[in-house]
């Protein structure tokens, strides 16, 4: 079975541009999580969904960040406008059954904002 | 403030040595998980501990959950270069709903 699939793997953009990161969770998983990883702050939870419904978005840093999950097999994380401090690796993860179960992570999207 | 504090932050040892890394918090957790992350990849689950005082073994890795469910340790016996990676602990507070991660311990095992 395919794991969690994220795209793009790498994105370099200029400050002020819109960035859209995409995630396809493992089929059958009912929880989806977006994390951001930096050296300074480690892995930070941004938002998570249960059955496509956002449950907790308290980790979303600002209104510039938004996330959607239009169906069980697709989610997006959008940053508009992007800033250099948004540079990080963004991970999508999914799990089944409960939000404390094993998380299956994608390979991440490395974002660089110049 | 980091909910889960991991130590040491970095560790460089030679093949064959033993090591212990720690994960501490002032909060009580319903469960703790340990993940390993290799460069360019996402974290992968190693183990979940749920009972205070629980000890779990995974080959040369031994995981312990503190009696009060506030801390955990990972001990590696006879480390090998393949153990190199970032070791992350993650937990859900008793009053919480989602996994919070520590910053991790970056381990380098040289031949």
CA of A80, closest CA in chain B: separation in Å?
25
CA of A75, closest CA in chain B: separation in Å?
17
Please name the member of A33, A55, A107 whose beta carbon is closest to the beta carbon of B40: A107
What is the phi-psi region of residue A92: left when phi exceeds 0, alpha when psi lies from -120 to 50, beta otherwise? beta
End-to-end CA distance of chain A: 37
Across the interface, whether the CB atoms of A102 and B45 are under 8 A apart is answered: yes
Q: Residue B9, exposed/middle/buried by CB under 10 A (0-12, 13-18, 19+)?
A: exposed
pLDDT confidence band for B97 (50 / 70 / 90) = low
Contacts of A48 in chain B (CB under 8 A): 98
Cis peptide bond N-terminal to A8, omega within 30: yes
Report how many Cβ contacts below 8 Å link chain A to chain B. Answer: 57
CA of A43, closest CA in chain B: separation in Å?
6
CA of A16, closest CA in chain B: separation in Å?
26
The per-residue DSSP string of A2-25 comes to ---EEE-SEEEE-TT--EEEEEEP
Please name the member of B42, B97, B100 whose beta carbon is closest to the beta carbon of A107: B42
- Average the pLDDT over each of A27-36, A49-58, A80-89, B95-104 and give the range with the smallest value: B95-104
**What is the average pLDDT value for chain A, to the nearest integer?**
94
A69 contacts: CB under 8 Å, gap ≥ 6? A32, A49, A52, A53, A54, A75
The angle formed by the CA atoms of residues B22, B26 and B30, to the nearest 5 degrees, is 80
Give the best residue of A42, A95, A104 to mutate against chain B (max B CB count within 10 A). Answer: A42
> Which residue is closest to B86 within chain A, CA to CA?
A42
Across the interface, whether the CB atoms of A56 and B98 are under 8 A apart is answered: yes
Average pLDDT over residues A73-79: 97
Across the interface, whether the CB atoms of A100 and B92 are under 8 A apart is answered: yes
**pLDDT tens per residue, range A32-42:** 999 999 999 99
Residue B92: predicted pLDDT: 81
Q: Which of B27, B10, B20 lies closest to B90, judged by CA?
A: B27
Residue B98: predicted pLDDT: 76
On the question of pLDDT at B8 being above 80, the answer is yes
> Which residue is closest to A41 within chain B, CA to CA?
B103
Residue A1: predicted pLDDT: 63
Residue B3: predicted pLDDT: 83
Residue B100: predicted pLDDT: 87
Please name the member of B43, B45, B98 whose beta carbon is closest to the beta carbon of A99: B98
Contacts of A42 in chain B (CB under 8 A): 2, 88, 101-104
Question: DSSP character for A52?
Answer: T
**pLDDT tens per residue, range B37-84:** 999 999 999 999 988 999 999 999 999 999 999 999 999 999 999 999
On the question of pLDDT at B96 being above 80, the answer is no
Residue A99: predicted pLDDT: 55
Residue B29: predicted pLDDT: 87
């Amino acid at each position: 079975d395919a794991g969690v699939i994220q795209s793009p793997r790498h994105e370099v953009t200029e400050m002020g541009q819109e960035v859209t990161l995409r995630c396809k969770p493992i089929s059958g998983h009912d929880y989806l999580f977006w994390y951001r990883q930096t050296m300074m702050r480690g892995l930070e939870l941004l938002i998570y969904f249960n059955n496509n419904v956002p449950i907790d978005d308290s980790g979303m840093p600002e209104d510039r960040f938004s996330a959607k999950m239009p169906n069980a097999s697709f989610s997006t994380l959008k940053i508009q406008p992007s800033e250099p401090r948004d540079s990080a690796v963004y991970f999508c993860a999914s799990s089944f059954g409960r939000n404390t179960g094993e998380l299956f992570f994608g390979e991440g999207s490395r974002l660089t904002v110049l | 403030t980091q909910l889960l504090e991991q130590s040491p932050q970095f560790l460089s040892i030679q093949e064959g040595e033993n090591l212990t890394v720690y994960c501490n918090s002032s909060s009580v957790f319903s469960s703790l998980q340990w993940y390993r992350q290799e460069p360019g990849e996402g974290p992968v689950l190693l183990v979940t501990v749920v009972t205070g005082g629980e000890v779990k073994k995974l080959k040369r890795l031994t995981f312990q959950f503190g009696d009060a469910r506030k801390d955990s340790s990972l001990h590696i016996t006879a480390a090998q270069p393949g153990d190199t990676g970032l070791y992350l602990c993650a937990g859900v507070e008793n009053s919480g709903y989602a996994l919070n991660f520590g910053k991790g311990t970056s381990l380098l095992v040289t031949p």
